[in-house]
A and B are shown apart, each in its own frame.
Chain A
Amino acid sequence: MTELLLQALYSGLLQGGAYALIALGLALVFGTMKIINLAHGELVLMAAYVAYAAESALGWHPLAAIVLALPATGLTAAGMHWTVSRIRADREINSLLLTFGFAVVLTNGFLMLWSADVHSTSSAWLQDALVLGPLYSMHSEALSFAISLALLAGLWWWLARSWHGRALRAVAANRDCAMLMGIAPGRTELLSFVLAGALAAFAGVALYCHGVIQPALGGALTVKAFIITVLAGLGSIPGVLAAAILLGICEALTVTLASSALQELTGMVLFLVVLFVLPNGLFGTARRRG
């Protein structure tokens, strides 16, 4: 039993790291612009498909595909920002609906380009086992976790130390004041979108390496990312990692102790419980209403 539990915790940890990478971009944009990008999952999926195209058509190692994925998602994200900034009235709901429309466009775009077939990497090393005592995982999962930690740490440092990072936090805290301080909010928001796109690129390539992709996956990714963003609470990067790992571990424990049929239920129930008990998320700062 302990062996089962240990493996469940370990699996959950690694899966949580992967989730965190997917959620990070969404959390960043949400924190900065108070906008949920409902097409974020599709950005991640785009990068995954780029990795697939690189591996199958060009014969590259999927990890090398990040070079192609970054411009792809970055440009798409910039495009999304441009359209979102065109919205004049009711930004909260209209941006939700606009990005929702993008999600539908992208999902069907993938369907038309790559058909409904499922794909994943065929690289042997990525699928081989990494055994640490009684704990098992695939190389790709451990690598994904490491990349996730590295990017999270990098982002956290950047937000705390660099000028642009602090400008981003300023805009997130109070847009008008930031403008008074000489920060161009439009450009900062564009930066946050592009950054989210870049993070999505890493998440997508990692997803292709350890998971199976198909066009319909985008929506599920967005929902997961949003659940984690809410769990974490606004404005907390380490919170995203903690929330993601919490979700991963809860899912793995549900599967081990109860049944795999209930794994998705865990996320939903956890989401609701946290929302009702801690409306600001686990680590979020309380916001004034209105």
Chain B
Amino acid sequence: MALRNHSGVIASLAALAALLLAWGGNPYIMSITIAALMTGGVALAWALLGNLGGMVSFGHAAFVGAGAYVSALCTLRLGVPVPVGIVLGALGAALSAIVMLPALRLRGPYFALAILAYAHIFRIAATEWTSVTRGAAGLSAIPALPVLPGLDAKASACLLAGLLVLGFALAYRAIRASHAGLALRAMHDSEDATRVLGVNSTLLKGLMLLVSSAMAGAIGAFNAHYIGFLEPDYAFGAMWVTLPIVAAIFGGYRTLAGPVIGALVVSLADQLLFKEWLPIGHQFLLGVLLVAMILAHPSGLLPLAGNVLRRLRPGGNGKGGGHA
């Protein structure tokens, strides 16, 4: 049991190390991996909100952008060191989620689009509040991420991104295994029943929203320091909504590793394959992929792989990927 708990962590670290050893000096591979990890982080945050909070959101871009701006401004204007900036970015995003708490009592698609409305409002606020955010011109020369000793900047950023996402996955797992996680899963099945048992569902859902937003905000902050430039359309862009959702669904949003694996597969497939086949409109294939996945195997790639593996190993114990 103990080994199983750590096996995921060990596997992830091993994969990360292998990646850096093989392609650490190739900036292009590093670039697309970092982009994939960014998507994976937001996908993880989105899946957390969906699984533990029971709420689908179409506006996670709001948190990503909020975190990015808070961190960028703190490091640029207040001279805060970058790692502190990222933490502040996460907190800033969580604070912005507090404004959204009244939306918690909305059901399904209403909540999803309420968050989208917030994302639009944040974008317009960032564009209009020129005295602070420099409006549409955006922020430039944002301080870069610290470079780990012995690595070049790109490989270091990749390693940091990988560790960040791994950290989030561990946090997600910890929450899920805790008392709160148990209550939340029960809530998923029947909110009324859990209410009767005295579980404060609203408080728990609110906490999940804060956690999810903080994660997304941290990713946004990390990305801002990695790219070095930030402007409202990019910070709150639809890509921070579309790709994480596709990734999470593709990989299996009910699993722990699914969103990140999905992000890696989808991003890399998109950049390395689809872009070659269809230079204009390659996201067309991404959409087709999503449709095919939902129709064929809605629980995603990871459980599918798990099923396939299980069928190939008739005598083994059912080790088909962790599931909620």
| A residues whose Cβ falls under 8 Å from a Cβ of B | 36, 83, 86-87, 89-90, 92-94, 96-98, 100-109, 111-112, 219, 223, 226-227, 230, 261-262, 264-265, 268-269, 271-272, 275-276, 279, 289-290
| Complex interface: chain B residues within 8 A of A219 (CB) | 238
The answer, yes or no, to whether B153 is at the interface (CB within 8 Å) is no
Q: List 20 A-B contacts (CB under 8 A).
A: A83-B295, A87-B294, A93-B108, A96-B56, A98-B290, A101-B246, A106-B287, A112-B278, A112-B280, A112-B284, A261-B127, A261-B128, A265-B120, A269-B121, A271-B114, A272-B117, A272-B118, A276-B103, A290-B191, A290-B192
Q: Among residues 261 to 291 in chain B, which have CB atoms less than 8 Å away from a CB atom of chain A? A: 278, 280-284, 286-291
Q: Among residues 208 to 254 in chain B, which have CB atoms less than 8 Å away from a CB atom of chain A? A: 238, 242, 245-246, 249
- A6 CB to nearest B CB, Å: 27
Given contacts A87-B294, A87-B298, 13 further A-B contacts (CB under 8 A): A93-B56, A96-B109, A97-B294, A101-B288, A102-B287, A103-B287, A105-B291, A108-B281, A108-B283, A108-B284, A223-B116, A268-B117, A269-B117
| Complex interface: chain A residues within 8 A of B6 (CB) | none
Contact check: which of B105, B120, B249, B281 meets A112 at CB < 8 Å?
B281
> Interface on chain A toward B: helix, strand, loop, or mixed SS?
helix
Residue in B107, B114, B281, B294 with the greatest tally of chain A CB atoms within 10 Å: B294
A98 touches B281 (CB 8 A): no
**1/0 per residue B282-313: CB within 8 Å of A?**
11101111110011001000000000000000
The answer, yes or no, to whether B106 is at the interface (CB within 8 Å) is yes
| Complex interface: chain B residues within 8 A of A87 (CB) | 294-295, 298
A230 touches B113 (CB 8 A): yes
Nearest 5 pairs of A and B residues by beta carbon: A104-B287, A101-B290, A108-B284, A105-B287, A101-B291
- A227 CB to nearest B CB, Å: 7
Question: Given A97-B249, A275-B103, do A104 and B295 touch, yes or no (CB 8 Å)?
Answer: no
| Complex interface: chain B residues within 8 A of A268 (CB) | 117-118, 120-121
The answer, yes or no, to whether B102 is at the interface (CB within 8 Å) is yes
B284 touches A105 (CB 8 A): yes
The answer, yes or no, to whether B124 is at the interface (CB within 8 Å) is yes
- B248 CB to nearest A CB, Å: 9
| Complex interface: chain B residues within 8 A of A269 (CB) | 117, 121
- B56 CB to nearest A CB, Å: 6
A108 touches B114 (CB 8 A): no
Contact check: which of A86, A112, A265, A290 meets B121 at CB < 8 Å?
A265
| Complex interface: chain A residues within 8 A of B113 (CB) | 223, 226-227, 230, 271
